[in-house]
Amino acid sequence: MFNLGLDHVHLLVKDLDEAIDFYESMGLKFVKYTAHGGNACMMKSHDGILFELQETGLIENPGLNHMAFSVSDIDEFCRGLKEKGFVVDGPLDNSRTGRRLATIRDPHGFLWQFVQKTS
């Protein structure tokens, strides 16, 4: 139907500084701090995959929040999902990041995000 490419992986962590140290020791490079509901940052692997780390000290089970895939036309993509019976949240404009976003949940409740870069 559409070509999907991995945009980023969003991880929830209890301690951002500790997580940065850990992922840097694994070879990821720190990119920048971001304002994503609190302390957050972007890190990048050697092959360009982005990892968004978000500190949320209140969670009991840190880990994967969602995976995001890039799409070239999010409106068309969402129409296609809805035609197949998916419940789609979005697309929504995120002026902070210059992106348009939409999400769905799989049958197990896992969150999938789709991103169209607008700038």
Residue 37: per-residue pLDDT: 65
Give the range of the structural domain holding residue 92, as residue numbers without chain letter: 5-117
- pLDDT of 65 reads 82
Buried b (16+ CB within 10 A) or exposed e, 73-106: ebeebbeebeeeeeebebbeeeeeeebbbbbbee
> What pLDDT is stored for residue 1 in this prediction?
58
| pTM, entire model | 0.75
Give per-residue pLDDT as tens, 41-73: 999 998 888 999 999 877 677 788 888 899 999
In 1-119, which ranges are E strands?
5-13, 29-35, 39-44, 50-55, 63-70, 89-94, 99-105, 111-117
pLDDT under 70: residue ranges of the chain: 1-2, 36-38, 59
Tell me, what CATH number does 29's domain have? 3.10.180.10
Query: How many domains does the chain contain in total?
Result: 1
